[in-house]
Amino acid sequence: MRIKNRVMRGQENNNEIQFVLDAEADRPTGTPAKKMITDSEEHAFVYLMDEDEGYTYIHFPKETWPYMEKALKTGSDPYLLWNDEKIPLPGFIEELTMLVYNIEGNDNYGEAFTTAVEQEFEAFLQNIN
């Protein structure tokens, strides 16, 4: 999977969760696809942006997971920040919820990735079980 954009860090601003992209990187292209997948080798969640011929991938590495869990707690879809532009991520909460729930106890994602997700999202998983 090609990494098109990588989230550098998460932040909270007025109860809004934002994920900051490298300002030196190109602006993410495409439109939000409302879909998320995983890259278990890179230990990342990946939000998809629709393009004419495929997708642009927005990688959320493990360092950003605490803010992903905060987004789950707020129940509000977060935003990407690229320079001064806010890019909404519709469907983020719904897709992440589904993935975290499906990954729990499922070593098809790889034992290391599954364990990392279970540990980081433990409080969230306890609330839905």
Q: What is the pLDDT of residues 70-125, one digit of tens each?
A: 999 999 999 999 998 999 999 999 999 999 999 999 989 999 999 999 999 998 88
Of 2, 118, 121, give the one whose Cα is nearest residue 59. 2
**H or E element at residue 54:** strand 54-61
pTM (2 d.p.): 0.93
pLDDT for 2 equals 59
> How far is residue 31 CA from its own chain's centroid?
16
pLDDT for 65 equals 97
